[in-house]
Amino acid sequence: MQLTAELVALVERKEPDPGPEAGTTEHTAGDFAAMADAVLAEHDPEHLWVFAYGSLIWNPEFEPVEQCRAVAAGWHRSFCLKLTRWRGTRELPALMLALDHGGTCVGIAYRLPPENKHGQIARLLEREIDANPPTNVPRWITVSTAEGRLKALAFVALRSGKAYAGKRPLAEVASVLSRAAGHWGSAAQYAFNTITKLEEHGIRDRNLWQIQKLMAAEIHCRKRQ
C-alpha cells in the first residue's frame, strides 16, 4: 500500500467548524427518534444487522455480537458525498463514501445486540446523517453471506440530495482526499483508515486501491515542492 500513515500525517490538520450549510439545519434527538420509528415501521427484524462498507468498519461505535463478510449486489462504495464540514470546509469540500446504485460491494455485516433496537438505530442515524435534509439515508438492503442472505440496514446516497457529488474521476477524488480537512481532521485520514481496515479484512476495492496510489503520489509531489 503506497499511502502510509507517515504521508497522511503530512496533510493532517483541523479546521474550524463552519456549522450547517445555508438551507440546512442540524437534526434534533426527536428527529432521529422519528426516523428510527420510520426505519422500524418499514422492517422490524428479529436480529438487527448493519452493513458496513466504510468508517463503520474502523469506527463502529457499537459492540456487535456477530460479524461476517457480506456482499451487497446492486450497490458499490463511492466517494459520492460532498462534505462542507466534518472533514471538509466550504472552501475545500471533502468527499465521503456512501453506497451508490450499481455494481457490487463487499463489506462486513454486523449483528447488534437484541436490546433496544430503536435506540441503536437512532444512534446510528445520528452518527451517519449530518444534514437536514439528508443525502446519506438509511435503507434496508439484502446482502449475501456464507450462511445465506439477510436483510441489513445500510446508508445509501440519495441522488437527489444536495450533497450528492456523483461519479468523479479517480484522480479528482484522490486530489480532494489528499487536500481537504475539517474539524474532525483530514479526508486523507478517513480514506487511509478505511482502506487499511478493508485490507485487514481481506477486502480490496479496486477503485479505492487506485485512489490510495494516486493520493500517495500527490502528497509526495507536494512534499517536494
In words, the CATH class of domain 5-224 is alpha beta
Lowest mean pLDDT among 36-50, 97-111, 122-136, 199-213: 122-136
Is the Cβ–Cβ distance between 103 and 75 less than 8 Å? yes
List C-alpha distances in Å: 174 to 78, 116, 135, 213: 12, 40, 22, 8
Whether pLDDT at 25 is above 90: no
Integer Cα distance of 70 and 205 in angstroms: 14
**pLDDT band at residue 185 using 50, 70 and 90 as cut-offs:** very high
116-121 long-range contacts (CB < 8 A, ≥24 apart) are: 117/40, 117/44, 117/45, 117/48, 118/33, 118/36, 118/37, 118/40, 119/36, 120/48, 120/62, 121/36, 121/39, 121/40, 121/48, 121/153
Whether pLDDT at 207 is above 70: yes
Count of other CB atoms within 10 angstroms of residue 164:
16
pLDDT in tens, 36-88: 999 999 999 999 999 999 999 999 888 899 999 999 999 999 999 999 999 99
Q: Which residues pair with 142 in a beta bridge?
A: 151
In terms of Cβ atoms closer than 10 Å to its own Cβ (0-12, 13-18, 19+), residue 23 is exposed
**pLDDT band at residue 126 using 50, 70 and 90 as cut-offs:** very high
**pLDDT band at residue 225 using 50, 70 and 90 as cut-offs:** low
Report the half-sphere exposure of 7 (CA within 13 A, side-chain side).
25
Integer Cα distance of 18 and 125 in angstroms: 22
C-alpha cell of residue 57:
468498519
The per-residue DSSP string of 177-195 comes to HHH-EETTEEHHHHHHHHH
Domain ranges of the chain: 5-224
Whether pLDDT at 224 is above 80: no
Residue 77 identity (one-letter amino acid): R
Angle at alpha carbon of residue 216, lines to 213 and 222, rounded to 5°: 140
C-alpha cell of residue 22:
445555508
